[in-house]
């Protein structure tokens, strides 16, 4: 019989006292609601996701509801959550659930992974948080907690490796109930206490077990391998600005209209081309040889 890892009990006890009251943790949340939350939470903080999730689930509470929506409505509802391709992939996922599983999110991991937009992390999170089964759930917060406590490192490597996955699996309790609680608890600890930039070590329930703290909080050993993305003045910002204009209207939008919001012609052209290529916008030429117009996909 496997002995429970020393990190588990104190972290779960801490979670019982400090867990945030989030709607996708409520007893009446559905598996579909859990999946929606996980997609929205990718690279987006909870405070921005929570109101968007509530509005989304009120409008489209089931996969069938979302599957029947127009892509334009889906993109407008996604609003400023960022990375809007996630919204279209979520709708593709909903349509696959309707077509292949009669509208019910599958419980089988292989079937989950076969859905559009569902990767290893999302499938594990749904398995744990929607279905209450043992899974190895490794988001940025969990990886950071384990890197610090077990490896004595400030931050985990930029990319998840097989050894790190095995190490995490060794910590997850063997039974479904405790494993599910651990996954939620360690994720919350990373989000609230063991944060990337300002960890509150004095509030940590496993400070006495932390290798990073014992080593004197050494600097990030992988700092030179991390890609830091700029924002102001980049193609990414241009793309976001153009997308905001398209979301704001049902009418076709001309390049002249868009130039008022992003005057750099070359960047604007690249932004439009990438949005069209990603299925986030449609280009039309109402008059042959005339100016093109753009709008959200129908």
Q: Which active-site residues does the annotation give?
A: 38
Strands 253-254 and 282-284: unpaired
Beta strands in the chain (DSSP E): 253-254, 282-284, 293-295
Rounded-to-integer distance, Cα 72 and Cα 79, Å: 11
Cα 234 to Cα 17, 39, 228, 241, 275, distances in angstroms: 43, 25, 13, 11, 15
**Contact (CB, 8 A) for 155 and 215:** no
Rounded-to-integer distance, Cα 194 and Cα 204, Å: 7
10 Å Cβ neighbour count for 115?
25
Q: 31-41 and 46-59 are packed helices; what angle lies between their axes, rounded to 10 degrees?
A: 140
**Contact (CB, 8 A) for 12 and 182:** yes
**Contact (CB, 8 A) for 205 and 10:** yes
3-class DSSP state of 196: coil
């Amino acid at each position: 019989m496997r002995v429970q890892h020393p990190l588990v009990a104190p972290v779960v006890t801490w979670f019982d006292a400090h867990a945030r009251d989030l709607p996708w943790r409520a007893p009446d949340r559905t598996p579909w609601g859990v999946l929606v939350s996980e997609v929205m939470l990718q690279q987006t903080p909870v405070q921005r996701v929570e109101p968007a999730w509530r509005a989304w689930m009120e409008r489209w509470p089931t996969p069938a509801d979302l599957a029947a929506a127009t892509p334009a409505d889906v993109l407008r509802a996604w609003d400023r959550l960022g990375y809007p391709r996630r919204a279209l992939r979520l709708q593709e996922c909903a349509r696959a659930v309707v077509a292949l599983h009669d509208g019910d999110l599958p419980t089988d991991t292989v079937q989950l992974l076969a859905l559009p937009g569902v990767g290893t992390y999302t499938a594990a999170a749904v398995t744990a948080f929607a279905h209450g089964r043992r899974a190895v759930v490794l988001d940025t917060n969990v990886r950071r907690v384990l890197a610090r406590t077990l490896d004595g490192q400030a931050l985990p490597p930029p990319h998840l490796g097989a050894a790190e996955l095995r190490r995490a699996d060794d910590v997850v309790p063997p039974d479904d109930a405790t494993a599910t609680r651990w996954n939620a608890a360690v994720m919350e600890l990373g989000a609230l206490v063991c944060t990337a930039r300002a960890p509150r070590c004095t509030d940590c329930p496993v400070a006495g077990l932390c290798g990073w703290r014992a080593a004197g909080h050494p600097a990030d050993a992988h700092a030179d391998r991390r890609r830091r993305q700029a924002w102001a003045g980049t193609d990414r910002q241009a793309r976001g600005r153009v997308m905001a204009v398209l979301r704001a209207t049902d009418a076709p939008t001309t390049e002249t209209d868009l130039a008022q919001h992003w005057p750099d012609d070359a960047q604007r052209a690249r932004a439009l081309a990438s949005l069209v290529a990603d299925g986030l916008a449609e280009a039309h030429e109402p008059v042959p040889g005339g100016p093109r117009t753009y709008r959200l996909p129908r």
